[in-house]
Amino acid sequence: MRQNRQPFASSNYEIVKDPVHGYIKLYDHERQIINTQAFQRLRRIKQTYSAHYVYPGATHTRFSHSLGVMHVSGMFVNTLLEPLIHNKEITIQEAQRYLFLVRLWGLTHDIGHGPFSHTFDDAILEELGRDHESMSFKILDEDQELSDVFEKRITKDFDIKVHDVAELMTKSREEWEPKKRLGKSAHYDSAFYHILLGTYSSDIIDYLLRDSLFTGAGYGSFDWERLLYCSRLYKNTVALDKKAEDCLYAFLLARLFMFDTVYYHRTSRAFDKIVETFLKKTREKIDYKNLVQDVRSYIQLDEESILHDPRVCDIEECNNLMQRTNPYRLIFPEKKITLSRDQPGRGIAELALKSRKFLDSQVEEKLRDRNIPREAYFIDTSSLPLNPMLQNDEICFIDTSEGKPKVNRQLIHDAFWMKMPHQVFIVRLYVRKSHLRFANKIKRGFKEVVEGTATRSPFF
């Protein structure tokens, strides 16, 4: 098996000890990026905010995650380009540029995350026509401190402009269509899309390993290095050697169980709701529009700065988060619904479960005449696509067992030795503890809606 090395990288680096990956190399220009105010802010953004209310150890940050993604991304690029270097299909200088470009992409991919991470996207940024990817672009494109590092070091030494990294944050899959060959090879640089946004991307690999370790959930034992070492370039994509197929499915199962056990834990989801409600209430007191428009103001935001803002201390949910008091109780047994692409009626079930709005509106209408206040309950319809990045279950396998490589594109759930769902939905009904007197009425109304939907869909 190939060694974890980067033979075409600069020798000017330091190392840091990481609890997940061991030692991580930090090249001089990367350390300068890390030392900027914009990046240091990630020390104050938890990787899995709501999970730490369930798992006390889950206080790790997007700072350490970003270092991990950079590290795995570099290993991935090295694995893919090593054969091209050996066959002299790409120069050392070209390979080095791609290595540092993708490492910088991994390092800065979360730099635009706001406080409370993805919940901030839903509660604040979405209303302003933004998301954390577009904020990453904006910070890289407008922050003067970051621009200075690029101009003085990175552009000069590696021909990588700050905009080259920034545009990768919001580039769609279509925009990654084959445009530029990798040296003299038959492959294209669009294949690098799969490193950060593919089925077994460096982002997913690191957050599964890191979140499993710090929560203690125990699902981080999949052989991710074998996935990398058994990957190779194939035209405009990345192909996985068929002999590593079992590693892929171990990875996918780990991801499935991490979502079920950690990210979609019933208490985690209750605190997600508390955070969402809290942030929406803060919109009346905090001018997020101006904060988002001004990069220097935005990078002052973190979870503690909002929670300790005197203007929001009287909001009930602020106290819930500070004191870890959960005002909700689960009153309806959670229902897991798995869907595959060939299942009849899948469209109806997706419509019913993919968005809270569907069930919310139906239940609200059912309960309106029963004098039950809307704030008395909430319905959680967490959804887990098998591949959330590409929204595509297809993977490219390459089989070298019979000499000449054979390439085959397969749907993951068709290739698996047991049935793998295309998508999983978890439906839960919560009631506020202050409104427990309405619990039975809410439960009956919810059940009536679910049973009514069952006449149109076999999945409820």
Q: What is the pLDDT of residues 356-412, one digit of tens each?
A: 566 677 788 888 878 899 899 988 887 766 544 444 557 888 887 777 777 777 666
Report pLDDT for 53. Answer: 96
Query: Which parts of the chain sit beneath pLDDT 50?
Result: 1-4, 344-346, 348-349, 351-355, 387-391, 454-460
305 in the same domain as 447: no
410 falls within a domain? no
* Domain end marker among 305, 326, 347: 326
412 falls within a domain? no
User: Three-class SS of residue 220?
Assistant: coil
343 in the same domain as 272: no
Query: What's the burial of 69, exposed, middle or buried (CB within 10 Å: 0-12/13-18/19+)?
Result: buried
349 falls within a domain? yes
Q: Hey, CA dihedral for 29, 35, 39, 43, is it positive or negative?
A: positive
Tokens of 50: 């709501």
Report pLDDT for 9. Answer: 63
Domain count, the chain: 2
Side chain identity at residue 444, one-letter code: R
C-alpha 273: how far from its chain's center? 19
236 falls within a domain? yes
Tokens of 48: 């899995």
368 falls within a domain? yes
Residues near 28 by Cβ (< 8 Å), separated by ≥ 6? 10, 12, 13, 153
199 falls within a domain? yes
CATH number for position 433: 3.30.70
313 in the same domain as 334: no
Tell me which residue of 275, 366, 367 sits closest to 45, measured CA to CA: 275
Report pLDDT for 388. Answer: 44
User: Three-class SS of residue 289?
Assistant: helix
Looking at the chain, how many residues does it have? 460
Give residue-wise pLDDT tens across range 61-99: 999 999 999 999 999 999 999 999 999 999 999 999 999
Tokens of 258: 């991490």
In order, the DSSP letters of 162-180 are: HHHHHGGGT--TGGGSS-S
301 in the same domain as 198: yes
Task: Report d(CA 306, CA 117) in Å as an integer.
Answer: 13
* Domain end marker among 288, 304, 326: 326
Opening angle at CA 298, ends 295 and 303, nearest 5: 160
The position carrying tokens 């709005």 is 357
β-pairing, 231-234 vs 22-27, is: unpaired
Opening angle at CA 63, ends 271 and 44, nearest 5: 55
Tell me which residue of 310, 278, 251, 272 sits closest to 46, measured CA to CA: 272
DSSP class of residue 404?
A: S
Task: Report d(CA 85, CA 78) in Å as an integer.
Answer: 10
CA distances from 419 to 218, 257, 407 (A): 23, 15, 23
Task: Report d(CA 327, CA 320) in Å as an integer.
Answer: 8
176 in the same domain as 78: yes
**Range of the structural domain that residue 334 is part of:** 329-386+421-460
- Strand partners of residue 407: 398
Answer whether 271's CB lies under 8 Å from 278's CB.
no
* Domain end marker among 292, 310, 326: 326
442 in the same domain as 314: no
Report pLDDT for 420. Answer: 63
374 in the same domain as 318: no
C-alpha 77: how far from its chain's center? 20
Tokens of 442: 């809410």
244 in the same domain as 129: yes
Q: Determine which helix (DSSP H) or strand (DSSP E) holds 445, and give its type and residue range.
A: helix 439-454
219 in the same domain as 86: yes
427 in the same domain as 305: no
Report pLDDT for 3. Answer: 45
Tokens of 343: 């299942």
356 in the same domain as 303: no
Q: Determine which helix (DSSP H) or strand (DSSP E) holds 255, and give its type and residue range.
A: helix 245-258
Task: Report d(CA 315, CA 278) in Å as an integer.
Answer: 7
307 in the same domain as 174: yes
DSSP class of residue 45?
A: S
Report pLDDT for 207. Answer: 97
Tokens of 178: 């084959």
CA distances from 339 to 32, 204, 253, 425, 457 (A): 46, 22, 16, 8, 12
413 falls within a domain? no
Side chain identity at residue 196, one-letter code: L
Answer whether 167's CB lies under 8 Å from 101's CB.
no
The HSE-up count of residue 89 (CA atoms within 13 Å, CB side) is: 15
**Cross-sheet strand order for the sheet of 328-339:** 328-339, 423-432, 377-385
Task: Report d(CA 365, CA 363) in Å as an integer.
Answer: 5
265 falls within a domain? yes
CATH number for position 210: 1.10.3210.10
